[in-house]
Amino acid sequence: MGMVGGGRGAFIGSVHRIAANMDGLIDLVCGAFSGDPEKSKASGADLMLPPDRCYGSFDEMILKEKELPADRRMDFVAIVTPNHMHYEPAKLALENGFDVICDKPLSFTMEEALDLEKTVKETGRLFALTHNYTGYPMVKQAKKMIEDGKIGTVRKIVVEYPQGWLSEKIEGSDHPNFKQATWRTDPARSGIAGAMGDIGTHAENLAEYITGLQIDELCADISILVPGRLLDDDGNVLLRMNNGARGVLFASQISAGEENNLKIRIYGEYGGMEWSQQEPNTLILRWHERQMEVYRTGVGKLYPEAEAHRRIPAGHPEGYLEAFANIYRNFVYALDARNEGKLQDPVYDFPTVSDGVRGMKFVERVIESGKSKNKWLKF
């Protein structure tokens, strides 16, 4: 694999590398870690890469790697740059025969998103988007239980994603997290949305993934609560799903004291389920007029989809990095299946470019609704 972005000090680049390393299936062989060739080489050296595989730009990487013999060149490209730098490397990689795994949200604009979707279709390349929260075993279990009708028709969804790290205006400061904060609050790098793009899209993706439903209409209150900021840091959204279910989605980066508290509750006719990213090995099933059940990773009979996404026995907690690694692993399985002319076992699914398009549409609509005086906006 070759990496675009993820130089020294980048949080998500390091996450992608650990995720890629974990199962011993992927070797990082090259990278364009920075637009500055010196920095790129320095970052590559930290990772024990030879200087000639540390490129000064993504196009240099893609074009030079393409010319290497098949057994030496990178197999696929991982894109871990800020939002405004997803489209170009992704497009170039696809067009030059490389499969792509890309951080979310998919792109800077809706147009880019649609063009990437088209390019994937045309080139026949594989494209994974790291909506990593769907990689957790208990998220898979939840999805299958709903598919199987265990809680009946879904009537209500509450999905929330409070963080508190932007409670102060740390962007442009010397705070340890200033680097993440600065680009995420900058319209030139993040696009039209702040919190809604960064984490609102995770909430939207998780809700639609687990329930198998789609948002049909929404009504959003999108706010900037820390003065001087240019992009939303808080958003609260009413949802109506395509089966008539009601919903609430909120995402916030000014919920002071919250860590990374993505949580979903889904209520159907017979019961409700709750999953929380900070305790990801637990899935709570509250049943109407009977005892609550607590499903745990590795305990009892779970769906094959859940079992396929854990590595170790019950009670040995697996977390964020393992879920992230599941996306990478499944992507590699899909590459292998494709290369061997086989069908990928659907148990090993991963988010695709189409999930990314949907996420971008969510961003577009939710920001539009935030500015509107009308209540409901069609998705």
Structure tokens at 65: 């790697």
User: With 0-12 CB in 10 A as exposed, 13-18 as middle and 19+ as buried, what is 373?
Assistant: exposed
Structure tokens at 87: 């489209």
Strands (E), 151-200: 154-162
| Least distance (Å) between residue 63 CB and a second copy | 26
User: Which one, 62 or 145, has the nearer CB to a second copy?
Assistant: 145
| Least distance (Å) between residue 253 CB and a second copy | 11
CA–CA separation, 296 and 319 (whole Å) = 13
Query: Residue holding tokens 């010319």?
Result: 67
| Least distance (Å) between residue 354 CB and a second copy | 26
| Least distance (Å) between residue 204 CB and a second copy | 16
Q: 61, 35 in Cβ contact below 8 A?
A: no
Structure tokens at 66: 């393409």
Query: Residue holding tokens 């340890």?
Result: 176
Coil, strand or helix: which one is 30?
strand
Structure tokens at 152: 């009946």
User: Which one, 316 or 342, has the nearer CB to a second copy?
Assistant: 316
Give the type of residue at 64. Answer: K
Both ends of the chain: CA-CA distance in Å?
36
User: Which one, 115 or 221, has the nearer CB to a second copy?
Assistant: 221
| Least distance (Å) between residue 108 CB and a second copy | 24
Q: 250, 160 in Cβ contact below 8 A?
A: yes
| Least distance (Å) between residue 118 CB and a second copy | 33
User: With 0-12 CB in 10 A as exposed, 13-18 as middle and 19+ as buried, what is 52?
Assistant: exposed
Give which of 219, 218, 279, 222 is closest to 254, Cα–Cα. Answer: 222
CA–CA separation, 46 and 329 (whole Å) = 24
User: Which one, 97 or 317, has the nearer CB to a second copy?
Assistant: 317
| Least distance (Å) between residue 44 CB and a second copy | 12
User: Which one, 124 or 243, has the nearer CB to a second copy?
Assistant: 243
CA–CA separation, 306 and 321 (whole Å) = 16
| Least distance (Å) between residue 186 CB and a second copy | 20
